[in-house]
């Protein structure tokens, strides 16, 4: 923030830091670093359990910061889902990536300790300024790490290290702390940071004012929420404006000793006792005095909740929400992973055991499991997986894309490809519990069914199969059905790092007094003719919703907004127009300008212009009626009557190719009444889905999230 000034809030915000759930390489006891591995099945359970603890704590988050790696992003999504705050903004930052493991990446910790010596490996793991050997740039693992997320379309590549010391990792984390997290806290915002063991240790070093020697005793188990409460320092005047750049977060560069790392300078054998964190009881109820704050001159932690290790000097100002003894057990086990080939899970198994044998996947596994009634994708990859050229795609997506290509074969338009400068994909969310019950949802925040989750996953597979799509950004409503559809499709695209932005302007239509009723129930109360006119008309609004229903829906995500009590399709159209004009189109123009400049520079220098064919692509996931409103803006010949009658299949991508002026291009691939948008799916499946929806409507049973 530098000299930028942030006005003080009435009270400082609360900070929760959370290491991701167990990953597939945590399970295998492998050094991971920047490798983008997924959560294990236990990791999914851990993330959900962490969310339950935070929900019981009653925390309301205002912003989430996470890394650009899927194990952290997916944990953040699972936590937000558990606390029912999916709409909270999430910033995915490479600055919060794990410390790069260099040439250690993919090696088993115990096996490496046997080969290189426990002392050497522990120095790499917990030393302050001891980077591992670098990972060669031309190695297969480096090439797998340095992927599209660090090479944004039309922009200069982001720096990807080949190794890092903890000191270097801390430097980038501290810069992000000053730039984003600290200003949020000073504004009074509650902040959730979901990241990795070493990046969170870097934060702890600042939050608890630890020296380089003291930070060596800090270990953070997976999915164990650590809560920091703050108060204003007594020396700061309440009315004083606070500069977020004034924080001095540096610590004395005291050399770290071998003793402080629990290692020796010689290669003598090391016992488990010498590495273990002692099982000391929790500190007494009378904590030691607060140290001077390294967080900010005007801000300090409000209490001491224990120590890191056994030294009274390494005070911990954060409070774990997981049982203290379980945290200590996990910390001890983590230290022993160089001595024993074990995996550590904070929440343990059915018998309460937090450790078990390390398991390395022998073959690639990609399966859907059911946890507490919802389905989740679980992936396991052997280390050799990352040497493969590509992952085998889901056969259904392949078949659908093949059917689509056959249907449009021979219908290309000369010069069409050169005109395409941007791609817009409209998407209705997957099937919801209200769709299942034929209820009119409106602004009710309902869940996807497992069918809807599978529809979203298939959508992601289709988009990943397409050579046309390289996503720049995803927009959704503030309702969980669109947000979770976006999360699931990005997960299947292996592109969880793509930014997702939420706006209330993409909410479904506000059905007023009809919300929560089936069309038959609404007809019985208000008359079939009136209800059909409200649902299928353009200007007619249903009766406004009762105040009790409004109070059930209105929450802090709509703070400061004049929430409509009822809407017509025309009202929806007026609501989405500012989104098009003020958010989507400026973002598209900026992305197109960057892409054009990059392509021109590549052409001028005779460089590789491979990115030129990949134009910026944007996904908009919105409610059914809001999607109809967007179609009326994009399809200049589409009438309001035709828009109302058009059936929109669940979670099926509708693609618009735009020219340099952001005008949708006509295409022979479009099916009437559309002339510009075309369905990226098997045409026979789209037609079958539309016929099913039309039959429901004709029978007076058509409901759901229109």
Catalytic residues: 20, 98
Bond into 440 cis (ω within 30) = no
Tell me the residue ranges of DSSP E strands in 199-282.
Answer: 226-228, 230-232, 242-243
Mutual orientation of helices 41-57 and 70-82 as an angle, nearest 10°? 40
Lookup result for tokens 């995803």: 474
**Cα-Cα-Cα-Cα dihedral sign, residues 251, 253, 255, 256:** positive
637's enclosing H/E stretch is none
Cα angle value 403/459/486 (rounded, 5°): 165
Q: Do 69 and 75 meet the contact criterion of CB atoms below 8 Å apart?
A: no
One DSSP character per residue, 666-703 reads P-TT--TT-SS-EESS-HHHHHHHHHHHHHHHHTT---
How far apart CA 426 and CA 397 sit, in angstroms, is 18
One DSSP character per residue, 350-419 reads TT---EEE----SS-EEEEEEETTEEEEEEE--GGGGGSSSPPPPHHHHHHHHHHHHHHTT---TTHHHH
Q: Where are the alpha helices (DSSP H) in 89-165?
A: 109-116, 118-126, 140-145
How far apart CA 508 and CA 537 sit, in angstroms, is 16
How far apart CA 90 and CA 476 sit, in angstroms, is 13
Residues 6+ apart with CB under 8 A from 548: none
Could you give the maximum distance between any two Cα atoms of the chain, in Å?
A: 88
How far apart CA 372 and CA 121 sit, in angstroms, is 39
């Amino acid at each position: 923030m530098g000299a930028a000034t942030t006005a003080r809030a009435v009270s400082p915000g609360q900070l929760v830091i959370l290491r991701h759930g167990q990953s597939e390489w945590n399970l295998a006891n492998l050094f991971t670093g920047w490798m983008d591995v997924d959560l294990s099945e236990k990791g999914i359970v851990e993330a959900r359990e962490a969310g339950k603890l935070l929900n019981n704590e009653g925390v309301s988050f205002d912003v989430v910061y996470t890394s650009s790696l899927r194990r952290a992003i997916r944990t953040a999504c699972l936590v937000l889902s558990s606390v029912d705050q999916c709409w909270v903004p999430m910033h995915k930052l490479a600055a919060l990536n794990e410390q790069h493991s260099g040439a250690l990446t993919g090696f088993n910790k115990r096996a490496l300790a046997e080969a290189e010596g426990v002392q050497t490996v522990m120095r790499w793991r917990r030393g302050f300024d001891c980077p591992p050997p670098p990972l060669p740039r031309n190695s297969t693992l480096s090439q797998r790490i340095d992927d599209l997320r660090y090479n944004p379309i039309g922009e200069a590549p982001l720096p990807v290290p080949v190794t890092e010391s903890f000191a270097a990792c801390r430097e980038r984390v501290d810069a992000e702390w000053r730039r984003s997290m600290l200003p949020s806290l000073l504004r009074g915002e509650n902040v959730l940071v979901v990241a990795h063991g070493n990046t969170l240790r870097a934060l702890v070093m600042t939050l608890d004012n630890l020296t380089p020697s003291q930070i060596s005793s800090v270990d953070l188990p997976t999915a164990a929420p650590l809560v920091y409460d703050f108060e204003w320092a007594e020396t700061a005047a309440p009315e004083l404006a606070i500069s977020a750049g004034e924080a001095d977060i540096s610590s004395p560069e005291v050399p770290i000793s071998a003793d402080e790392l629990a290692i020796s300078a010689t290669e003598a054998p090391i016992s488990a006792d010498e590495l273990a964190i002692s099982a000391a009881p929790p500190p007494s109820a009378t904590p030691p005095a607060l140290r001077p704050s390294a967080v900010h001159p005007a801000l300090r932690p409000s209490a001491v909740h224990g120590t890191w290790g056994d030294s009274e000097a390494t005070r911990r100002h954060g409070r774990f929400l997981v049982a203290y003894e379980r945290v200590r057990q996990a910390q001890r086990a983590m230290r022993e992973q160089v001595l024993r080939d074990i995996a550590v899970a904070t929440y343990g198994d059915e018998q309460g055991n937090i450790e078990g044998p390390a398991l390395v996947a022998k073959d690639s596994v990609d399966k859907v499991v059911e946890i507490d009634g919802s389905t989740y994708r679980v992936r396991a990859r052997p280390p050799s997986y990352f040497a493969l050229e590509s992952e085998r795609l889901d056969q259904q997506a392949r078949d659908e894309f093949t059917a689509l290509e056959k249907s449009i074969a021979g219908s290309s338009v000369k010069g069409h490809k050169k005109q395409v400068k941007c791609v817009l994909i409209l998407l209705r969310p997957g099937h919801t519990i209200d769709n299942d019950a034929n209820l009119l949802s409106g602004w009710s925040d309902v869940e996807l069914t497992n069918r809807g989750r599978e529809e979203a996953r298939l959508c992601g597979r289709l988009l990943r199969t397409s050579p046309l799509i390289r996503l720049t950004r995803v927009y959704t409503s503030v309702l969980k059905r669109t947000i979770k559809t976006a999360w699931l499709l990005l997960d299947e695209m292996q592109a969880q790092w793509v930014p997702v932005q939420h706006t209330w302007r993409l909410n479904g239509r506000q059905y007023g007094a009809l919300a929560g009723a089936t069309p038959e129930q609404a007809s019985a109360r208000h008359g079939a003719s009136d209800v059909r006119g409200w649902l299928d008309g353009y200007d007619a609004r249903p009766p406004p919703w009762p105040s009790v229903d409004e109070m059930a829906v209105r929450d802090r995500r709509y703070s400061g907004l004049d929430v409509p009590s009822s809407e017509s399709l025309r009202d929806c159209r007026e609501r989405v127009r500012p989104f098009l004009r003020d958010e989507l189109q400026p973002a598209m123009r900026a992305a197109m300008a960057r892409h054009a400049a990059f392509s021109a520079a590549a052409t001028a220098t005779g460089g590789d212009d491979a990115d030129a064919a990949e134009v910026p692509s944007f996904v908009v996931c919105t409610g059914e009626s809001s999607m109809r409103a967007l179609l009326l803006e994009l399809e200049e010949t589409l009438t309001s009557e035709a828009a109302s009658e058009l059936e929109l299949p669940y979670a099926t991508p509708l693609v618009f190719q735009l020219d340099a002026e952001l005008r949708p291009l006509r295409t022979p691939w479009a099916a009437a009444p559309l002339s510009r948008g075309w369905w990226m799916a098997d045409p026979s499946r789209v037609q079958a889905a539309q016929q099913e929806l039309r039959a429901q409507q004709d029978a007076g049973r058509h409901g759901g999230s229109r």
